[in-house]
Structure 1
Amino acid sequence: MQNLSLDIKGMTCASCVNRIEKALKKNSGVINASVNLATEKAQIEFDQSQLNPDQIIEIVSKVGYEATLPTTKPVDKEDEIQREMFKVILAAMLSFPLMLPMFTPVHLSAWTQLILAIPVQFILGARFYISGWKAIKAMSGNMELLVAIGTSAAFGLSLYLMSQDLSNHLYFESGSIIITLVLFGKYLEARAKQQTTKAIRSLEALQPSRARVIRNGSEVEIALTDIKKADVVIVRPGERIPVDGKVLNGSSEVDESLITGESLPVEKNLSDKVISGSINGHGLLQIEVTATGSETMLARIIRMVEDAQVKKAPIQRLVDKVSAYFVPIVLGIALVTILATGFITGDWEKAIIHGVAVLVIACPCALGLATPTSIMVGTGVAASAGILIKDAEALEVTHKVNMVVFDKTGTLTSGKPSVAHLSDEKLLPLLASIQSGSEHPLAHAVLSFAKDKNVSFSPARNVRAIVGQGVEATIDGVTYILGSKKILDGKNSSNAQTHEQKGETVSYLAKKDPFEVLGFITFHDTIKPDAQRAIDKLHALGIKSMMLSGDNQGSAEAVARSLGIDKVKAEVLPGDKASVIQELKKEGMTVAMVGDGINDAPALASADVGMAMSTGTDVAMHTSGITLMRGNPALIADAISISQKTYSKIQQNLFWAFIYNVIGIPLAALGYLSPMVAGAAMALSSVSVVTNSLLLKRWKPE
């Protein structure tokens, strides 16, 4: 299976989206296809043994749309928008004289009206005929087809009246003004849609195109594309850091706010990691490159936000089903309106005008934009606050969360434990030997403690992890076990309860055969400064909290008590965390799991929505639906807040999109709306939906 992203040109409404998706899914080689009207992109999963990208592009072309592979450079649509504005101005200049007889005693001859109307109808309005014809060939319909049929009917009726010497009231102005209003609506829509992609474009602009590197002992400036891993990059004060890397020399404070949302500069010293796109402060830095181009954190963030904006939210499926039948139903209503009005009143001129109004006001465009524009803005403002939302489904589900489950270490606590107590200092060489090859945070604490005490040791042999319990190792022919209370298995009652009650993590050291407990070591891990605020914010939203930890009961309960967490489940094996999540879901909870380690990945995947700390492992981030860039638990409530606001906007937009048609179509059919008023209402519906979505940009994290 392979993924392909395409840029699609020529879409005008939700019907276009359906047509492209339907054509793609007809092919057996396409596993899934999702097309987004607002971003003008398609995300396609396909079997590369049956199809290639060129063949997929050909499928899209056959149904009347232009598909291209996305460019690496940010696309600025300002020139295209300016051309749209020019067309609107020209159409308005030609249409304005046609309106004069409506407001003044000025009377234009029929031939003057025809000459003014032709360029608007067939040159500036050519796009409607082209798109409409493509829709007919594909046995489908779209908004452009409705406009083409409606304005052509008004134009044709006017020609008929001219031929009958009935030139007192022609309808050339109706067609011209409708086309002008629709073009104006498209222009406003394009401007508003450009604003929705502002977050992506601001991220893309963060990375400089060139950088200074040390080559053969001297400093040279080269293109960013020529930089390789392990190169040494020089970053001067005030410059943007061009790559991901670690500090080889120098110290500084770095502004990472546009990437992580962290408002305060972060101090960087020897071996500290730096992120591409962040701004160097007062110091000169030499940075060893660890990632370039598409591998950098910034590039991954951009991809994640783009993917979230392209993919559809579950609520969009209802909209797609409605819009698939929308155009044929509208054409049917227009035909019934013409026939009914004509036969009842005998005035076929009036009947055609009523039918034209029905065709013009029925705009599936607003339906197509209602959901994706909200998601685009919502994911964009979330990204600027340090909340990366992987897909639209995660964004939609998060608003329903009523239980947040926390892992303890690295999520609520700093994840950097230190030794608090050792029952017998003679055990320290053994402990250090056992932990010498481990990357576990507790191992780092033991080795750091041993270093401070100037204890010498040699690495243990036959080191073997015991999942969820500890580690087994051989030293000088003797096998030892170091781990949690579970290794005691009831064989010894020594459990250091007073240390557990203080909130310390206890590890026991024992000989394996015969089993004998030699002593214990305890660790203290500080609670994150924002952990209390995170729990308080969740409670303020009416959301319950639970802590899930492999740590001992006493330590887990001490942390939970200090933070006011509602439920605690301690001494849970990594494989059992997912089972706890499933039990909560069976109880009717919508569960968010927050974690940072590899052992949290199954639970993150099992939850309704997984939230990973970026300070944790890549596995946790890939498994989760939301990544918190600052590792700050207070962002959890903000993620739920932006999800609630975005979902609210989607509901508002769908209401307005439906209400325009529910009210407008009957009024047009009954003759209460002229075609010109219908055209204005249609243009307004799309603009109001996009503008309402843009109001999300006012959201700020607390």
Structure 2
Amino acid sequence: MQKKVILVATIEKTEYRLENLTCASCAMKFEKNVQGLPAVQDAQVNFGASKLSLMGNVTVKDLEAAGAFDGIKVFPAAERREVEIIPFHKRKENIVTILSLLFLIPGAILSFTYSENYPAAIVFFVVSIAIGGAGIFKTGFKNLVRFEFDMKTLMTIAIIGAVIIGEWREGAVIVFLFAVSEALEAYSMNKARQSIRSLMDIAPPSAIVKRGKEFLELATEDIVKGDVLIVKPGQKIAMDGVVLTGMSTINQAAITGESVPVLKNTGDEVFAGTLNEEGLLEVTVTKLVGDTTIAKIIHLVEEAQAEKAPSQKFVDKFAKYYTPAIMILAVFVAIVPPLLGADWNTWIYQGLAVLVVGCPCALVVSTPVAIVTAIGNAARQGVLIKGGVHLEETGHLRAIAFDKTGTLTKGYPEVTDFIPVGNVDKKQLLESIAAVESLSQHPLAKAITTYAYRNDARKVEVTNFQSVTGKGAYAEVGGMTTYIGSVNWAAELSSLPEGVLQRATELQRSGKSVMAVVLGTDYSGLIAVADPVREESRSILKELKSIGIHHTVMLTGDHPETAQAIAADLGMTDVRGGLMPEDKLIAIKELGSKYGRVAMVGDGVNDAPALAAAQVGIAMGGAGTDAALETADIALMADDLEKLPYTIKLSRKTLRIIKENIMFALGLKVIALLLIIPGWLTLWIAIFADMGATLLVVLNSLRLLRVHK
């Protein structure tokens, strides 16, 4: 019997960039319109990044038709195009606002000089309302027909009501001030989006490529793995790769936030968007344009800005019930007092004022503007935060756990102590040690040879090299056998002076690996090697305590005695040594139950389970490390612990600003609504309360752009 094969077509996600997306409610409406298209299975609009992701087969023309209500322009995300920076005075929303004001001013002068219903004044007010309110009315009437109630619907009802009861001047003022409010919102979002635009402009769109004997200028989309880039001094590197030939200092600030240029030599990794400062480099391309570190950063930042933080989810849920409640209150204020004998005109006016003051503009933008601004600022500082939820969680941290190797320490061994006996030529002894270790495969051999050559040791001839498993190595250097290995082995080869064993034990207790040197049959000295603590670790841990992180814990696979010594030196509150990766996971869970919110700082590879279990996983050295970018909630791109206190301060300031924004947005409205009781609420007060709240929220959020390390 022949089996029936069913082929299932998979529809890929397509991404588009958007222009002219002016407000959060417009983004929601556009998303709903796109989701309603017949060929679309799913669609999501990222307002912060001005981006649309959808599953389905639709044309750009169909998408632009869905966004025609707001003049939204759509183009494929992969298409590299220069975003036109429109000057302030040429922006549509600003032109409309200024024209509305130009007709409002003479109308107001005439109405105050003669009367509010002076015919010439009314003409000016009508033109002002028509110019400033055209976009509002167009959307508002459509929403009224569909029984969809948003900010523009409320404003449309309020303006029509003001005109019906003869409040021409106040109707025109409402239109003008609402136009100002919309212009402010557009300005704030454009400012916040510049952080992503600046990231997108970091890497050059083309590069000089050497293929065989030919030199070609190619668009980055046409460059493939294995191509060789020619990067001249002063040029930006277009693709991620490895230095094939040449040596130069590279300014990596765009990727890692490091201000000090880094020396790159043959075999070193370089990143797209970094600046070659001095020498000519040939770079072998290792990643396609869509897979470069900067491309991943941009993608993750945009995803982060789309992800709603807990406070934003609360605001969205609150706004869902808030708008209908305001409409019910407005109807109640307009109808109930007149039914009890009060003046209809007065209370209809009060009801219209309730509609205006109740507009949730400020509330809707209170959280996303702050989140988008903070994440964009962090990205420019070399800190990749993968969502508003992680940004907020970081602000609540009470304890931080650190991996030791490569996090608190440098991650590679260095000679810390060289103690020759008094009667030995120090330089000659160092040359003999380096000669033996240059042939050794021991993990610590490179640290010893590096130390020797940095201290001007000459390379000398070595013969008859032998490695002794579990003990050390020896060879003939300058006609004498030089032994280097464990202290116990040295005790077998020579009689050790008094105090040597005690000194070796002290060094071992402080977390160092100790080796003894014997020349012929004479003990000649000790050499100690350790993974040194980063110079900045102590000051950073001290700074963390000063900002309220009182519980700092070291989790390491090192011997508990070594771990205790390093933790005590750093001033940490807790230490756990001899841990396997699964033990670190258990430790993080225990710390979480004890302290509530705990962060784990590690390298993103062997610490993956602990990073995933922590409330906030923070990876060191995210630049070029896929595991770090994928596993952690936050990546410190420059392998720089100094960015940790900055990240916590930014998170806390963001939380504070979000709370202030919600307080401003609701507080001003509550105060204005209380003016209903004595009948003092006017349309002027209502619109100033609404616009004032929006202005405060926007300006308050933009303060996050000023947070630096």
Q: Same fold (TM over 0.5)?
A: yes
Q: 2-side partners of 1:156 and 1:684: how far apart?
A: 26
Aligned residue-pair number? 624
Aligned to 1:121: 129
- Of the three residues 589, 601, 624, the one matched with 1:582 is 589
CA displacement 1:277-298 (0-9 Å, x = unmatched): 1111121111111224221111
Asked whether the equivalents of residues 398 and 595 of structure 2 are also in contact (C-alpha less than 8 Å), the reply is: no
Q: 2-side partners of 1:212 and 1:40: how far apart?
A: 32
CA displacement 1:596-654 (0-9 Å, x = unmatched): 14210010000000000126842233111100011112222221111111111111111
Aligned to 1:694: 702
Q: Say whether residues 1:556 and 2:563 are aligned partners.
A: yes
SS of 1:291's equivalent in the other structure is: coil
Aligned to 1:533: 539
Alignment of 1:118-197 (within 5 A): 118-158=126-166, 171-197=167-193
CA 448–93 in structure 1, closer or farther in 2 if over 3 Å, else same: closer
Q: 2-side partners of 1:418 and 1:585: how far apart?
A: 35
Q: CA RMSD, aligned part only?
A: 4.0
Aligned to 1:524: 530
Q: 2-side partners of 1:672 and 1:70: how far apart?
A: 52
SS of 1:184's equivalent in the other structure is: helix
Q: Say whether residues 1:673 and 2:681 are aligned partners.
A: yes
CA 576–59 in structure 1, closer or farther in 2 if over 3 Å, else same: farther
CA displacement 1:670-695 (0-9 Å, x = unmatched): 53232133223322221221110111
- Of the three residues 76, 92, 99, the one matched with 1:90 is 99
Asked whether the equivalents of residues 592 and 610 of structure 1 are also in contact (C-alpha less than 8 Å), the reply is: yes
- Of the three residues 277, 280, 299, the one matched with 1:281 is 277
Aligned to 2:86: 78
- Give the letter aligned to residue 687 of structure 2: G
Asked whether the equivalents of residues 255 and 265 of structure 1 are also in contact (C-alpha less than 8 Å), the reply is: yes
Q: Say whether residues 1:637 and 2:636 are aligned partners.
A: no
CA 198–8 in structure 1, closer or farther in 2 if over 3 Å, else same: closer
Asked whether the equivalents of residues 49 and 196 of structure 2 are also in contact (C-alpha less than 8 Å), the reply is: no
CA 25–190 in structure 1, closer or farther in 2 if over 3 Å, else same: closer
Q: Which piece of structure 1 moves more, 663-672 or 673-682?
A: 663-672
SS of 2:216's equivalent in the other structure is: strand
- Give the letter aligned to residue 162 of structure 2: A
SS of 1:673's equivalent in the other structure is: coil
Asked whether the equivalents of residues 257 and 381 of structure 2 are also in contact (C-alpha less than 8 Å), the reply is: yes
SS of 1:175's equivalent in the other structure is: helix
Aligned to 2:208: 212
- Give the letter aligned to residue 592 of structure 2: K
Aligned to 1:567: 574
Aligned to 1:621: 629
Asked whether the equivalents of residues 599 and 616 of structure 2 are also in contact (C-alpha less than 8 Å), the reply is: yes
CA displacement 1:118-146 (0-9 Å, x = unmatched): 44434541222232234345543100001
CA 669–14 in structure 1, closer or farther in 2 if over 3 Å, else same: farther
SS of 1:627's equivalent in the other structure is: strand
CA 550–53 in structure 1, closer or farther in 2 if over 3 Å, else same: farther
Q: TM-score, normalised by structure 2?
A: 0.78
Asked whether the equivalents of residues 613 and 629 of structure 1 are also in contact (C-alpha less than 8 Å), the reply is: yes
SS of 2:321's equivalent in the other structure is: helix
Q: 2-side partners of 1:612 and 1:402: how far apart?
A: 18
CA 581–653 in structure 1, closer or farther in 2 if over 3 Å, else same: same
Q: Which piece of structure 1 moves more, 258-267 or 216-225?
A: 216-225
CA 317–455 in structure 1, closer or farther in 2 if over 3 Å, else same: farther
Q: Say whether residues 1:100 and 2:109 are aligned partners.
A: yes
Q: 2-side partners of 1:686 and 1:260: how far apart?
A: 35
Q: Which has the higher contact order (CA 8 A, sep 6+)?
A: 1
Q: CA deviation at 1:444?
A: 8.2
Extract unaligned runs of 5+ from structure 1. Answer: 159-170, 436-440, 459-495, 508-520
Q: CA deviation at 1:33?
A: 7.8
Q: TM-score, normalised by structure 1?
A: 0.79
CA 627–245 in structure 1, closer or farther in 2 if over 3 Å, else same: same
Q: CA deviation at 1:505?
A: 6.1
Extract unaligned runs of 5+ from structure 2. Answer: 1-10, 418-432, 452-458, 468-503, 516-526
Q: 2-side partners of 1:679 and 1:454: how far apart?
A: 90
Q: CA deviation at 1:87?
A: 0.8
SS of 2:558's equivalent in the other structure is: coil
Asked whether the equivalents of residues 64 and 135 of structure 1 are also in contact (C-alpha less than 8 Å), the reply is: no
Q: CA deviation at 1:88?
A: 1.0
- Of the three residues 368, 387, 393, the one matched with 2:389 is 393
Asked whether the equivalents of residues 394 and 626 of structure 1 are also in contact (C-alpha less than 8 Å), the reply is: yes
Aligned to 2:249: 253
SS of 1:415's equivalent in the other structure is: coil
Q: 2-side partners of 1:375 and 1:392: how far apart?
A: 6
CA displacement 1:453-489 (0-9 Å, x = unmatched): 899999xxxxxxxxxxxxxxxxxxxxxxxxxxxxxxx
